[in-house]
Structure 1
């Protein structure tokens, strides 16, 4: 393609990119001009490479080179801003969001931990009740996972040869799947989130009660206490995010249901961002710490207590400085 044709075809795009650059260079924060900027920047770089390859005039090459250099500066400037915003969300925005939605978080906690505690006590008193929630095959698998003679605690027999890295990936996918299921089912007017909070609570409580009865408490409780601080809290928060979607549909107030749902989703999606962070930490602990057999139970209980205290302190106190941005 001749240079004149090349310029005619792409001149308008270059001009639009230059206008976006000017807006970004004048702005100290991300703006609408930043949307899709990375794709446009890559296209400018492609055009520059073509101009070099085809031997177009230095006038065109220099102009494209200048656009590419300015684009590179803005791309990494705004990427660093996005990183700072993400850090501030973790340090302040997420715990403030949890506190702002304390009613839904409290209700979700009551459903999940209440059903877990009640079912655990019932199975502890009436052992056969476990089979109303968990199949005999699953009960046998759970017993083998927490057998004190196992080389690695908390792993099914077929997974005992897995590396910590593989188990880390497995735990992330498994836990995020449960959380997303609990969250997304809130679109069924909240009924789905209610169901999965109760179902997970009843199942975990039944397993805990049965394993304690069977004499595996010395392996089960030290295994779950550490990563459970992040994992169980994440399930509660995912349930709260789903209930917020459901409540927007049940009681939209003066808004249309679609608009109420859209507003609720903005908050719920941000909550799920924090849930994914919690589940990633939980998966790391489960793969690299919880399954280890060499630490004494007292050590694991001590670490677990500290982790529960850390989660509670983070959600209650982090981000309370009023000028800290979300």
Structure 2
């Protein structure tokens, strides 16, 4: 074995491992991952040298370095730390939301507009609404079922039920995105149900009640659905148009990772929406107060995703497009 050539080839990695291992504490997840990889490589190099090289000095130096790397890996991975969780919510999640904003933002504008038109049309054309429900059913929904739905169960149980249902629907949109078309079916089903109920309320002059009981939780809840659907479609587009740099598989894998970040982040967000629906929507607070609470939470989410998300994406450009992929 040519020791000089081997040293020239691997010396940079050994030096980097020595630098990382000498630090009292690693705070970046990327540096911790790099440390683990370099330690594993150095251990392999040491095994190769022991079998092929009689140079005791190099063996001793590399053995010391591997021991230091092992100690650093143990130190970095030992004990519980809140830092990865804080890093996720402070940078990775808002960055992912910002990078996919065009996808879920476009869906939101188009579908909200389409749903509003459908509600107006059904409310203004009883013959169309009659295709979905009879007069008795409409009267039941307007007089008691729509409002009673939000207080039918105990608030904590209702919040858990809503959270589960919305999380399942959003997860389906994300997972189905790779096939593209199922996402539109899921969105259409949800949009049609909302439009029919809204059309019932508007047809009986109860449009204000519809808005009062939908807005407090619906602003955040429906936005989460659009985020899940938009990111799912972005995943599907990754293999349809992977770009000039990566293969279809590489592009799809990169965007699936981005989608997993969003999926995890939507879990607590949908929990907040579920609490709003269970505790704020049916509460005795005045309608402006209930809508104001929901609007404030929703605007906070948009600020987190779009304003802070832009800052987070610039500080930690860890998304798929940072690796020579076009911006989402």
Q: Into which bin does the TM-score normalised by the smaller protein fall?
A: 0.5 to 0.7
Q: Check if 1:145 corresponds to 2:145.
A: yes
Identify which of 77, 81, 88 aligns with 1:86: 88
Identify which of 219, 232, 246 aligns with 1:242: 232
Q: 1:243 to 1:124 in 2, by over 3 A?
A: same
Deviation at 1:218, TM superposition (A): 4.2
Cα deviation per residue 1:19-69 (whole Å; 9 max; x = unaligned)? xxx96986504434779xxxxxxxxxxxxxxxxxxxxxxxxxxxxxxxxxx
User: C-alpha distance in 1, partners of 2:134/2:263?
Assistant: 31
Q: Check if 1:98 corresponds to 2:97.
A: yes
Secondary structure (helix, strand or coil) at the match of 2:271 reads helix
Q: How many pairs were matched up?
A: 257
User: C-alpha distance in 2, partners of 1:279/1:137?
Assistant: 34
TM-score normalised by structure 1 residue count: 0.67
Deviation at 1:231, TM superposition (A): 0.2
Identify which of 7, 26, 33 aligns with 1:28: 26
Cα deviation per residue 1:92-141 (whole Å; 9 max; x = unaligned)? x4333323223212332244213212211211111343355679998677
User: C-alpha distance in 2, partners of 1:140/1:258?
Assistant: 53
User: C-alpha distance in 2, partners of 1:269/1:132?
Assistant: 40
TM-score normalised by structure 2 residue count: 0.66
Partner of 2:123: 124
Partner of 1:211: 201
Deviation at 1:196, TM superposition (A): 1.8
Q: Is the 8 A contact 2:93 2:265 kept in 1?
A: yes
Q: Is the 8 A contact 2:242 2:248 kept in 1?
A: yes
Q: Is the 8 A contact 1:116 1:206 kept in 2?
A: no
Q: Check if 1:173 corresponds to 2:164.
A: yes
Partner of 1:198: 188
Structure 1: where are the runs of 5+ without partners?
1-21, 36-69
Q: Is the 8 A contact 2:177 2:183 kept in 1?
A: yes
Q: Is the 8 A contact 1:229 1:311 kept in 2?
A: no
User: C-alpha distance in 2, partners of 1:138/1:243?
Assistant: 36
Structure 2: where are the runs of 5+ without partners?
1-19, 38-72, 319-328
